[in-house]
Amino acid sequence: MNDADGRRRIVDGRFQLEARLGGGGMGMVWRATDLVLQRSVAVKEVRPPDPDLAEYDPAAAHQLRQRVLREARALARLDHPGVVTIHHIVDEGDGTYPWIVMELVPGGSFADRLAQGPMGPVEAARIGLGVLSALRAAHDAGIQHRDVKPANVLMRPDGRPVLTDFGIAAIREATALTATGSIIGTPDYMAPERVSGRSGGPSSDLWSLGMMLYTAVEGHHPLRRDTTLATLAAVLSEDIPPPLHAGPLTDVLTRLLDRDPAARPAAQTVERLLTEVAEGGSAPQEMTTSYRIQAPTPVVPVPAPTAPIVPTRPRRRWLPVLLPGVGVALAGTLAWNYLPGGTSGAAGPSSSPSVSSVSSPITASSPAAPASSDAGTDTGGTQGESGKGLLTPSGVRTAIAAIEKKSGRSRYGSLSVYEDYVTAQMMVDGSDTKYDTYTYRPGEGAEKGIISSTIISIARPFRVDGFAWDKLPALLAEADKKLNVPDPESRYVLVQPPNTVFDTPATMNVYLTDAYGGGYLIADSQGKITKVYPATK
């Protein structure tokens, strides 16, 4: 941080940089001292993902600088307690990038809070109201955030949220493809229409708010997958399981997480719904809902569309809807950015032109209640190798042996078994949070993936050597009989890690899905079925 002459760096002759607070693809944030006013501030050094941008594409660099300045000046005119205050802009002209001087919010971020565990729906609603108020002020001024996520919500010491990083988020779509061809952003919280290449609008920020609140009360993100590519595909096409712990917040989450932007409620309606939850105070933390639990759909390649599929809603169940003009781009753009040799984004990059299908998020139908006659039922002994591909006892054991040999590890963060491949989060030795991904495919063996990350805070590592894999054929047979999916398009097993909040052990979850969704059953590690969530007839 010191210059060559040993002195601390001073920006614009006034702001002395003290320590790094964080950074990302668009620059670095510093804690600094305003030497004129003798106060602490936050200073954002804005830089593009490609440091050579100004050299090989000066027009794009100029566009980036102008966009940052325009958005920062617009934000500086916003006087709202939920929007970080812009104090000053340092602009040294073309060929340089701006520095944005902002208020220093000392209470950490919402992401820091969620790292401690999930929160109740009332507390989440109160946080949501604060963020929504800031978004409404920005939207009224013609500014969209485009990257609402826990890390961009700072917390004042009194618990009030402050939305930050407006200026940086607002330039992302303008520079993401024209500048470097890379994807910048956070796929987890990005609205489907923005992932698909459309610009979106204020309702796209509301989707992000809804996803952030869902994650807050459930303790995990419903669409986060092992790779950025898989996460983007999930955002575009996989059903969102109804929240189990949202209680009175369930209705507003359901309405916000609608993949049709026009169907999402207006900000004023969202404010009313959140206020009702927040003022309920003692509202129950959990409640039975009328939303059918949807199994996540495995990520598979989707061919380019030939004609749009018209959605029908005979039972409030949505068929996939093809977005016009975005069929082939997913394969090209994402392959460039996430395959070996491209730009990987384990924890951040997102937003891209592409996708081919979008299906319902939390779909409403009849109640999803476990079949009481199945709770505690044992599936019996070995039923032979009646599964398909790797969904057999020998197939699973072969994949596990190959992954453990390749990784040299035996502790898991998760294990996913499909008919033609198996993926696993393998815990780093000596850590209970860090993992690397490994994938096994017949004929290719096990290979380490490009993603390394941390498991969610409420999960703990587990081993699979004690699992009764011989019960897998019987579990698949029970799924065929009990899940109301007569012609499944896919079958797979997700091994969920132990949960520290509810003190539950690891489970084997067997899914059957078709074009309308699907159902799943939960069994313990010995193959005893504990819950069944069938698809609605």
Q: What is the CATH number of the domain that holds 49?
A: 3.30.200.20
Which two structure tokens, joined as six digits, stand for 340?
Answer: 């070996």
Whether residue 5 is contained in a domain is answered as no
Give CA–CA dist 415/241, Å, rounded. Answer: 19
Whether residue 86 is contained in a domain is answered as yes
In this structure, how many other beta carbons lie within 10 angstroms of the beta carbon of residue 14? 16
Query: Where among 54, 86, 103 does a domain terminate?
Result: 103
223 and 283 assigned to the same domain: yes
CA distances from 106 to 10, 281, 431, 471 (A): 22, 27, 29, 53
212 and 254 assigned to the same domain: yes
CA 117-150-113 angle, to 5 degrees, is 35
Whether residue 180 is contained in a domain is answered as yes
Nearest Cα neighbor of 259 from 363, 150, 123, 181 is: 363
Which two structure tokens, joined as six digits, stand for 277?
Answer: 């939850």
Give CA–CA dist 400/419, Å, rounded. Answer: 14
pTM for this entry: 0.52
Q: Which residue pairs, CB below 8 angstroms and at least 24 apart, start in 498-507?
A: 498/459, 498/460, 498/462, 499/458, 499/459, 500/457, 500/458, 500/459, 500/460, 501/117, 501/118, 501/219, 501/458, 505/462, 506/462
155 and 244 assigned to the same domain: yes
CATH number, domain with residue 246: 1.10.510.10
User: What is the total residue count of the chain?
Assistant: 537
Buried b / exposed e along 404-435 (16+ C-beta atoms within 10 A): bebbebebbbbbbbbbebbbbbbbbeeeeeeb
Supply the range of the domain harboring residue 43.
10-103
Nearest Cα neighbor of 452 from 489, 427, 478, 422 is: 427
Which two structure tokens, joined as six digits, stand for 313?
Answer: 């809603």
* Residue 327, pLDDT score: 33
301 and 153 assigned to the same domain: yes
319 and 218 assigned to the same domain: yes
502 and 429 assigned to the same domain: yes
Work out the burial of residue 76: count CB atoms within 10 Å of its CB; fewer than 13 is exposed, 13-18 middle, 19 or more buried: middle
Which two structure tokens, joined as six digits, stand for 330?
Answer: 């997913």
- Starting at the earlier edge strand, list the strands of the sheet with 445-454: 377-378, 528-533, 517-523, 507-514, 490-496, 412-417, 422-427, 434-441, 445-454
Nearest Cα neighbor of 418 from 246, 291, 259, 300 is: 300
Buried b / exposed e along 371-401 (16+ C-beta atoms within 10 A): eeebeebebeeebeeebeebbbbebbeebbe
- Domain tally for the chain? 3
In this structure, how many other beta carbons lie within 10 angstroms of the beta carbon of residue 292? 26
Whether residue 157 is contained in a domain is answered as yes
Whether residue 366 is contained in a domain is answered as no
What letter does residue 262 receive in the DSSP assignment?
G
37 and 68 assigned to the same domain: yes
Query: Where among 290, 312, 338 does a domain terminate?
Result: 338
* Residue 463, pLDDT score: 95
Coil, helix or strand at residue 21: strand
Whether residue 438 is contained in a domain is answered as yes
User: Would you name the residues annotated as active-site residues?
Assistant: 147
* Residue 57, pLDDT score: 66
* Residue 50, pLDDT score: 59
* Residue 502, pLDDT score: 67
460 and 529 assigned to the same domain: yes
318 and 263 assigned to the same domain: yes
324 and 381 assigned to the same domain: no
Whether residue 126 is contained in a domain is answered as yes
Coil, helix or strand at residue 101: strand
140 and 158 assigned to the same domain: yes
* Residue 161, pLDDT score: 94
* Residue 307, pLDDT score: 35
Query: Where among 86, 103, 120 does a domain terminate?
Result: 103
Whether residue 450 is contained in a domain is answered as yes
89 and 148 assigned to the same domain: no
Coil, helix or strand at residue 216: helix
* Residue 347, pLDDT score: 31
Along the 537 residues of the chain, how does pLDDT read in single tens digits?
444 333 468 888 899 999 888 765 566 888 999 998 889 999 988 776 555 655 556 776 777 777 777 777 777 778 889 998 889 888 877 767 788 899 999 888 899 889 888 999 999 999 999 999 999 998 988 888 888 999 889 998 888 999 987 754 444 444 333 333 344 456 789 999 888 877 778 999 999 999 999 999 999 999 998 888 888 888 888 889 989 999 999 999 999 999 899 999 999 999 999 999 988 743 333 333 333 333 333 333 333 333 333 333 334 333 333 333 333 334 333 333 333 333 333 333 333 323 333 333 333 333 333 333 333 333 333 333 445 789 999 999 999 999 999 999 999 998 989 888 898 989 999 999 898 989 999 999 999 986 677 777 677 899 999 999 999 999 999 999 999 888 888 888 989 888 776 678 999 999 887 766 678 899 999 999 998 988 766
